[in-house]
Amino acid sequence: MFPIGRQRWFPGAHTTLAPLSFSSTAFTIRVMTRPQANEAAIYYSRYIDLVTDDDIVGRLKSQLDETKSFLEKISDEKSLYSYEPNKWTIRQVVNHINDTERIFTSRALWFARGFAEPLPGFDQDTSAAGAEANSMSWTGLKEEFTNVRLATISFFENLSPESWSRTGIASDNPFTVNSLAYIIAGHVTHHQNVIAERYLG
């Protein structure tokens, strides 16, 4: 179970949702807070656990400035560095961050708006190959991160209270909209840590 921390009451967030695949009982959010263990498949705890804030929209905002500052310290030449053969370059990692944020925000949109149809999987290697990020400008990739994150913030900032508890299936895994917001932030933290440790360390 993830730590609860400061609780935030959202009026009306009391609808019983469809059962998640790894829970025998229906999942109900009565108090909106950090994701509970059954809001996403266990794999995604690696990202959710990296977010210590209870205010996820606030974290998405603060992370934007932090990540922009981090990326600005990486030179154009260094952005093409890969720490091992067949590993992504920093440009490819940042492109992956941008693509993944778009995908997970689009999943959150789909579920928040009440669509019941499951969504397909997202193959990161297919996406990376199609993007050809090493041919993109480093400045352009950094600007793209900012633009994608601003759109993400705008989406989550304007969600109705009820929307945060809605669920859906993507890549054969259940998610709440709430968990997707945390996964987005944690995914950026994860890859920023990887860049710092393996590419810049």
Low-confidence ranges of the chain (pLDDT < 50): 1-31
Q: What is the pLDDT of residue 13?
A: 34
pTM across the whole model: 0.84
Q: What is the pLDDT of residue 19?
A: 43
Residue 176 CB contacts under 8 Å (≥ 6 apart), including other chains: 17, 27, 29, 35, 39, 40, 111, 164, 165, 166, 167
Q: What is the pLDDT of residue 9?
A: 29
pLDDT digits (tens, 9 = 90+) for 80-91: 999 999 999 999
Q: What is the pLDDT of residue 32?
A: 55
Q: Where are the domains of the chain?
A: 44-199
The CATH number fitting domain 44-199, selected from 1.25.40.10, 3.40.50.300, 1.20.120.450, 3.30.2130.10: 1.20.120.450
Q: What is the pLDDT of residue 33?
A: 80
Q: In whole angstroms, how far apart are CA 74 and each of 36, 88, 93, 142, 160?
A: 36, 15, 13, 10, 38
Residue 32 CB contacts under 8 Å (≥ 6 apart), including other chains: 7, 8, 9, 10, 13, 161, 164, 165, 178
